[in-house]
Amino acid sequence: KRVINFTAGPSTIPMPVLQRIQEEFLDFQGIGASIIEISHRTPQFEALLAENVALITELLELPPNYKVLFAAGGGVLQMAMAPMNLIALKPARKALFVDTGIFTGRAIQEAAKYGTSVVVASGKESGFTRIPEVDTDSLDEDASYLHIATNNTVHATMWKEFPKLNGLPLVGDSTSEILSRKIDVAPFGMIFAGFQKNLGTVGLSLVVVREELLGHAVKETPRWMDCQVVAETDSMPSATNAFALCVCNLVLKWLKEQGGVAALE
Ligand SMILES: *Cc1c(COP(=O)(O)O)cnc(C)c1O
């Protein structure tokens, strides 16, 4: 009686994952309690988190200078977390955007709360039916980063090749495609993805960030949204969403069993 659900998110979870959640829910790994009933400081919980970091590192083939964080909230909250952490990399506090639809539109609004948002190319005239050309030679040198949505969920466009930038970090919103195709992370200073589409269930986001960019958060940044604090506390500035991390763990293991990102692609 399973229905086939083609929505981008919250979306279908592999059946073996749902079954494992059901089997383990009352008794997680033989501890006699559910994962949502135990402290986030227990060895079982810390092992789960560490395994998630290792699986993400392996599946995304991350170079060693990237941190894997499990941040609060979904993709839309990351549209604020990115500028809070990165817009002050340069004193001009400018974030550049390629506007490719609804989700970059939201990100443009969020970043403008912490500095200046500049749209360097827009697909608006085409009704967001194509990714616009970006003149990478004329980008503002005062800018802190360039934000793109690598896959534009509502408009069904995606970047095939990412803009080649001369040292300017790229920030990628990959909420609706993370781990579905091989990407070279090197040009990215940060990639984020809300859990609810490809990583399990709603409540947290994956943030992959280049280590050298940490430590520049604007002073108003809450503890849970400062990437450096999240990194230093191994994604536990305080208690976190055990259930989402548990579902994510099973999804990542399932994905690896299928042959990883190349096989899924
Ligand atoms: C779905 C989606 C979001 C929103 O994510 P939430 O986790 O619901 O906040 C953001 N960006 C993109 C590209 C999306 O597809």
| Displacement of CA 83 from its chain's centroid (Å) | 14
Q: Are 203 and 195 in contact (CB under 8 A)?
A: yes
pLDDT of residue 123: 97
Q: Are 205 and 227 in contact (CB under 8 A)?
A: no
Successive 10-residue mean pLDDT values, the chain, 265 residues = 87 94 94 94 94 98 98 98 98 98 98 98 96 95 97 94 94 97 96 97 97 97 98 97 97 98 96
Task: Report angle CA 95, 101, 102 to the nearest 5 degrees.
Answer: 90
pLDDT of residue 211: 98
Rounded to whole angstroms, the Cα distance separating 260 from 241 reads 25
Give me ligand 1 centre to Cα 6, in Å: 16
- Choose among 195, 247, 222, 164: nearest CA to 75: 195
Task: Report angle CA 200, 201, 203 to the nearest 5 degrees.
Answer: 130
> Measuring from atom 10 of ligand 1, which residue has the nearest CA?
75
Give me ligand 1 centre to Cα 254, in Å: 22
pLDDT of residue 150: 98
Q: Are 126 and 104 in contact (CB under 8 A)?
A: no
Pick from 108, 197, 201, 202 the residue to mutate for probing ligand 1's pocket: most ligand atoms within 8 Å of its CB: 197
Q: Are 181 and 47 in contact (CB under 8 A)?
A: no
Q: Which atom of ligand 1 is nearest to the CA of 74?
A: 7
Rounded to whole angstroms, the Cα distance separating 217 from 228 reads 8
Q: Which atom of ligand 1 is nearest to the CA of 103?
A: 11
Lining ligand 1 with CB less than 6 A are: 8-9, 74-76, 103, 149, 153, 173, 175-176, 194, 196-197
Rounded to whole angstroms, the Cα distance separating 238 from 71 reads 11
pLDDT of residue 4: 85
